[in-house]
């Protein structure tokens, strides 16, 4: 316990400090000022053992009821297969967006036909068809216009199965899941180009091309390959489209994160790799484990890809179709000069392009440096064909010394870098559990002020990614960073051997960083997060019209409407047009025969905000969430005779419990 005497503060001193902090926060200027507030605050602070730093942090993060957060974070939900929406600075969890995993509250994959179709659209393309019901979400990417977040769409990858999902930020719902052809793991995704023409992802674990063609591990160098994937995005349709999508075959080096160029480097893509040793593991066979085998060389390769030229190559018909997708073969990529390598510190993780598009920051997990290349130098080296050699596949390797601008020793195990609005970079440092702040070079900082380590702050513990407010765009905001920590060890109440992750909010407004808040994340391991100014988002308050189908983002021609509820039998098919309104379903009785195929078109005809209704049928594993105006479809076979209540699963009104009905399933005679 920290004692107040440590700070040399008596009661008066403490009261003065609290008063000062309140004054700066504007509280004392507010009309709601209460006499004696400082005294009360002092007592509370003392009773709770809060330090002055704690109080300052509380004042900077507390958002009173009814007030809004300045920023929203979109965090990958890790193993939960979902996306978390979190307010900053309050760190309040606002929503969990169902993406790759059935989610009962939102009725996602839990009975609505639309969500079942959506989930199954990302199924494996080979073998027995079964819906993949989990995802390993890693890197969310907000859509961009001119390198700025535009608040329209969010993309997220599923590393486990190489899928990309599209979320529409008008209703914060998943609209599309795409199984990437030829690929089975895509840790490095999703990343968008500055105008969201393409969503980029890179393979991780190399496989035969395509992955479902078998080749023994002994043929690793010959048959196994990586891919850099370019999903074409149609903003009007709000969907990834096949036409214009393509892939580039790359060596089996275990490609990792990518970052598209911006401003001067727009049109180029930069991707890391971390197994240029082409280690194949095999502890049981007496071979080094991957962790040793894949870290033997002192350098791996940054992949530098000329995306604009690659698009032309595809248009010229020089790609080949693999699983129906245009793939630029590796030899073509080399011959057409669209792929180059730059030596980078071994076992890298992050590659991050600075706001000006010129500086490219690399961090090697087993290094102590961040290394900064410049796009200018890379272009010059390519123009002069100034290579140190070629890799075994013929890819030109640029000379490290020709392209490196600076190297900065920031600590043990640097991973990822974000930027602020004052020319500083913030890098997560895994092994020593810190965040390092350092200065960029010209035009941000000149002379001795350039490339300096400014500050380090301990975090708790084992930081992975870091996010700062709009910190990977062309105009970062500064203000806040969040350290996304893998371990929490001793930060929270113990809840069994599976510990929560720990998001730590940092104040970066001053020269020195300050820790403001710890937020436990107990539903998965979030990897990357993006933080957008809240006023850039314009979500719907209710769906635009009654009968709106979120799957098609248009009015459903089959939607049930008020006054037109009905039940129609056609053979053994029973169709029900049902409405939901506080506090009743209409119809309330559905009578079918055992074995009938039942289809319920159900519409929430409410227009009031937050008047959501659920629709659950006991025993049939069905639960829908119907937001105001939403129409959805339930389709099932009435294979269980008996009487089954259906009811609203949202506490929608005082007579919520009465919002119910019966499904009567008469046994076959």
Give the residues lining the site for other proteins (CB under 8 A). 277, 286, 288-289, 291-293, 295-299, 345-346, 364, 366-369, 409, 411-413, 430-433, 458, 460-462, 487, 489-490
Least distance from C-beta 347 to other proteins, angstroms?
9
Counting Cβ atoms within 10 Å, is residue 272 exposed (0-12), middle (13-18) or buried (19+)? buried
Closer by beta carbon to other proteins, 45 or else 457? 457
Least distance from C-beta 526 to other proteins, angstroms?
20
In the chain, what is the straight-line distance between the N-terminal and C-terminal CA atoms, in Å?
75
Least distance from C-beta 413 to other proteins, angstroms?
8
* Contact residues for 250 (Cβ-Cβ < 8 A; gap 6+): 203, 225, 226, 227, 228, 273, 303, 330, 333, 339
Closer by beta carbon to other proteins, 196 or else 368? 368
Closer by beta carbon to other proteins, 50 or else 165? 50
**Cβ pair 346, 377 in contact under 8 A:** no
Closer by beta carbon to other proteins, 229 or else 294? 294
**Rg for the chain, CA atoms, rounded:** 28
Report how far residue 40's alpha carbon sits from residue 36's, in angstroms, rounded to the nearest whole number: 6
Closer by beta carbon to other proteins, 87 or else 293? 293
Closer by beta carbon to other proteins, 20 or else 412? 412
Least distance from C-beta 5 to other proteins, angstroms?
17
Closest Cα to residue 311, out of 259, 271, 267, 353?
Answer: 267
Least distance from C-beta 211 to other proteins, angstroms?
28
Least distance from C-beta 366 to other proteins, angstroms?
7
Least distance from C-beta 555 to other proteins, angstroms?
56
Beta-sheet pairing, 239-250 with 224-234: antiparallel
**Cβ pair 369, 401 in contact under 8 A:** no
Least distance from C-beta 265 to other proteins, angstroms?
26
* Contact residues for 476 (Cβ-Cβ < 8 A; gap 6+): 355, 418, 419, 420, 421, 468, 469, 470
Least distance from C-beta 344 to other proteins, angstroms?
10
**Cβ pair 178, 156 in contact under 8 A:** no
* Contact residues for 141 (Cβ-Cβ < 8 A; gap 6+): 154, 155, 156, 190, 191, 192, 199, 530
Closer by beta carbon to other proteins, 164 or else 463? 463
Report how far residue 30's alpha carbon sits from residue 27's, in angstroms, rounded to the nearest whole number: 5
Closer by beta carbon to other proteins, 9 or else 299? 299
Report how far residue 547's alpha carbon sits from residue 562's, in angstroms, rounded to the nearest whole number: 10
- Cα–Cα distances in angstroms (integers) from residue 434 to residues 126, 257, 466, in the given order: 44, 21, 11
Counting Cβ atoms within 10 Å, is residue 468 exposed (0-12), middle (13-18) or buried (19+)? buried
For residue 19, the surrounding DSSP H or E stretch is helix 11-25
Report how far residue 48's alpha carbon sits from residue 312's, in angstroms, rounded to the nearest whole number: 65
Closer by beta carbon to other proteins, 299 or else 567? 299
Q: How big, in percent rounded to 5, are the helix, strand and coil portions of the chain?
A: 15, 40, 40
Closer by beta carbon to other proteins, 433 or else 439? 433
Least distance from C-beta 288 to other proteins, angstroms?
4
Least distance from C-beta 645 to other proteins, angstroms?
49
**Cβ pair 134, 79 in contact under 8 A:** yes
Closer by beta carbon to other proteins, 137 or else 363? 363
Report how far residue 124's alpha carbon sits from residue 137's, in angstroms, rounded to the nearest whole number: 17
């Amino acid at each position: 316990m920290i004692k107040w005497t440590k700070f040399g503060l008596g009661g008066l001193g403490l009261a003065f400090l609290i008063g000062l902090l309140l004054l700066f926060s504007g509280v004392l200027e507010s009309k709601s000022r209460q006499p004696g507030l400082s005294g009360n605050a002092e007592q509370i602070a003392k009773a709770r053992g809060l330090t002055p730093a704690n109080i300052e942090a509380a004042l900077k993060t507390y958002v009173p009821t009814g007030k809004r957060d300045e920023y929203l974070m979109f965090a990958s939900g890790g193993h939960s297969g979902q996306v978390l929406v979190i307010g900053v600075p309050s760190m309040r969890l606002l929503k969990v967006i169902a993406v790759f995993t059935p989610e009962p509250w939102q009725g996602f994959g839990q009975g609505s036909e639309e969500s079942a179709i959506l989930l199954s659209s990302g199924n494996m393309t080979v073998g027995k068809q079964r819906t993949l019901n989990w995802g390993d979400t890693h890197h969310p990417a907000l859509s961009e216009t001119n390198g700025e977040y535009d608040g329209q769409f969010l993309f997220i990858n599923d590393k486990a199965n190489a899928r990309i999902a599209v979320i529409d930020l008008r209703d914060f719902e998943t609209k599309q899941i795409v199984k990437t052809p030829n690929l089975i793991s895509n840790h490095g995704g999703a990343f968008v180009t500055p105008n969201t023409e393409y969503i980029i992802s890179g393979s991780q674990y190399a496989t035969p091309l395509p992955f479902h063609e078998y080749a023994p591990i002994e043929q690793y160098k010959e048959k196994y390959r990586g891919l850099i994937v370019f999903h074409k995005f149609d903003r009007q349709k709000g969907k990834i489209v096949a036409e214009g999508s393509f892939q580039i075959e790359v060596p089996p080096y275990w490609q990792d994160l990518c970052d598209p160029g911006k401003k001067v480097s727009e049109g180029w893509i930069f991707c890391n790799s971390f197994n240029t040793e082409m280690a194949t593991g095999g502890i049981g066979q007496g071979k080094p484990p991957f962790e040793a085998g894949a870290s033997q060389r002192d350098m791996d390769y940054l992949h530098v890809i000329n995306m604009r030229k690659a698009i032309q190559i595809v248009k010229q018909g020089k790609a080949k179709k693999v699983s129906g997708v245009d793939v630029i073969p590796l030899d073509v990529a080399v011959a057409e000069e669209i792929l180059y390598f730059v030596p980078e510190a071994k076992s890298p993780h992050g590659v991050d392009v600075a706001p000006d598009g010129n500086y490219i920051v690399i961090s090697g997990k087993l290094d102590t440096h961040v290394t900064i290349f410049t796009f200018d130098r890379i272009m010059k080296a390519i123009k002069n064909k100034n290579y140190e050699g070629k890799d075994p596949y013929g890819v030109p390797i640029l000379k490290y010394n020709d392209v490196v601008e600076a190297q900065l020793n920031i600590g043990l195990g640097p991973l990822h870098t974000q930027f602020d609005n004052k020319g500083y970079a913030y890098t997560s440092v895994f092994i020593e559990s810190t965040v390092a702040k350092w200065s960029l070079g010209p035009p941000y900082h000149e002379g001795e002020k350039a490339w300096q380590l400014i500050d380090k702050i301990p975090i708790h513990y084992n930081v992975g990614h870091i996010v700062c407010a709009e910190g990977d765009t062309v105009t970062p905001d500064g203000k806040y960073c969040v350290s996304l920590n893998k371990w929490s060890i001793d930060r929270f109440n113990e809840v069994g051997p599976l510990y929560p992750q720990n998001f730590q909010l940092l104040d970066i407004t001053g020269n020195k960083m300050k820790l403001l808040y710890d937020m436990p994340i107990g539903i998965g391991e979030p990897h990357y997060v993006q933080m957008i100014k809240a006023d850039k988002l314009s979500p719907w308050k209710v769906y635009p019209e009654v009968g709106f189908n979120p799957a098609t983002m248009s009015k459903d021609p089959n939607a049930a409407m008020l006054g037109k509820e009905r039940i129609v039998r056609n053979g053994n098919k029973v169709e029900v047009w049902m409405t939901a309104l506080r506090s009743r379903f209409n119809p309330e009785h559905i009578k079918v025969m055992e074995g009938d195929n039942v289809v319920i078109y159900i519409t929430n005809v409410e227009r009031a905000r937050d008047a959501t209704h659920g629709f659950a049928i006991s025993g049939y594993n069905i639960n829908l969430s119907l937001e105001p105006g939403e129409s959805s479809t339930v389709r099932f076979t009435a294979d269980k005779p008996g009487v089954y209540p259906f009811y609203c699963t949202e506490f929608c009104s005082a007579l919520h419990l009465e919002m119910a009905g019966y499904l009567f399933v008469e046994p076959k005679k």
